Structure 1
Amino acid sequence: MNEIIDHLREVSESVPVPLELPTFEQLVEVEEQILIPLPNDLKEYLLFASDVIYGAIEPVTVTDPYSHTYLPEVTSYAWSIGMPRELIAICQQGDNFYCIDQEGQIHFWQDGELNEEPWESFWDWVEDIWLEH
């Protein structure tokens, strides 16, 4: 995980208004809003790398409730169009979502269906999808 975070930091784009990393308290607030605990890998990403901006993939964030990547809003929308309630959205692509289950596996929810082969961890997804696109 640390190597992946280091790599994300190396490729992170410089922007005029950088994203902020959340506090642990902000993560607790998000869990209270969506009424489901955040899996550990997602918490680690949010606390240590959610300020990274790279490429066209925009994973969820938790520091700005007005952002289009705000985890509670992205997840609520995904649930409203049929994504299973036990999943948490980690990245929106139109009406399709990469999402995480409570075991930490990442699924792609597309056209009302989950992909058959999940990624084993959030960090596997980062390497295979975010860093490759």
Structure 2
Amino acid sequence: MEDVIELLQESAQSVAFGLELPDEDDLVMIEEELFIPLPSDLRLFLLELSNLVIGSLEPVTITDPQAHTHLPDVAANAWDIGVPRNLIPICETAQGYYCISEANEISLWQGQQQTDDIWPSIWHWAKDVWLGS
């Protein structure tokens, strides 16, 4: 996991106006808004990497409620089209939503249908999908 975090940080594009990283209080506020606890991998991902710009994918963020990647808005949209409520979307794409389970497993959902694409953790997904986007 630490190797993947370092790799992602080194691969990030520099941007003039980036997002701030959240703190624990921000995470608690989001959990209260979603009415669901954030899986441990997602918590660490948000705390360490949610300010990075890498490739063409834009994972969820929580520090700017106006951002199109703001987690509560992305989650509401995903749940409205049929993604199960116990999953939290981590990234919206043209193919659907990458979602994380309570067990930290990532899967790709297209509406109410889970595809065959599954990663054992957000770190595998970040290295295999986000970094390569």
Spell out, residue by residue over 1:46-103, the C-alpha distance to the aligned partner (whole angstroms, 9 max, x if none). Answer: 0011111111011000100110000111011100111111000000014710000101
Q: TM-score, normalising length from structure 1?
A: 0.96
1:120 and 2:120 aligned: yes
2:131 & 2:24 partners in 1: Cα distance? Answer: 26
Q: Provide the rounded CA distance (Å) in 1 between the counterparts of 2:67 and 2:18.
A: 13
SS in 2 for 1:54: coil
DSSP 3-state at the match of 1:61: coil
Task: State how far apart, in whole Å, the 1-side matches of 2:4 and 2:120 are.
Answer: 15
AA aligned to 1:30 is: I
| Alignment partner, residue 92 of structure 1 | 92
Q: Report the aligned-residue RMSD.
A: 1.1
Residue aligning to 1:24:
24
Specify every segment of 5 or more residues in structure 1 that has no aligned partner in the other structure, as ranges: none
Q: Is the 8 A contact 2:89 2:97 kept in 1?
A: yes
Report if the CA contact (8 A) 2:98-2:107 is conserved.
yes
Name the SS for the 1:108 alignment partner: strand
Residue 117 of structure 1: how far off its partner (Å): 4.5
TM-score by length of 2: 0.96
Deviation at 1:111, TM superposition (A): 4.1
Gaps (5+ residues) in structure 2?
A: none
Q: Partner residue of 1:67? A: 67
Stretches (4+) displaced over 2 A? none
SS in 2 for 1:115: strand
With over 3 angstroms needed to count, the CA separation of the structure-2 counterparts of 1:100 and 1:22, relative to structure 1, is: same
- Which secondary structure does the structure 1 equivalent of 2:43 belong to? helix
Q: Paired residues, what number?
A: 133
Paired residues for 1:45-56 under 5 Å:
45-56=45-56
Separation in structure 2 between the aligned mates of residue 11 and residue 82 of structure 1, nearest angstrom:
33
Match of 1:38 in 2: 38
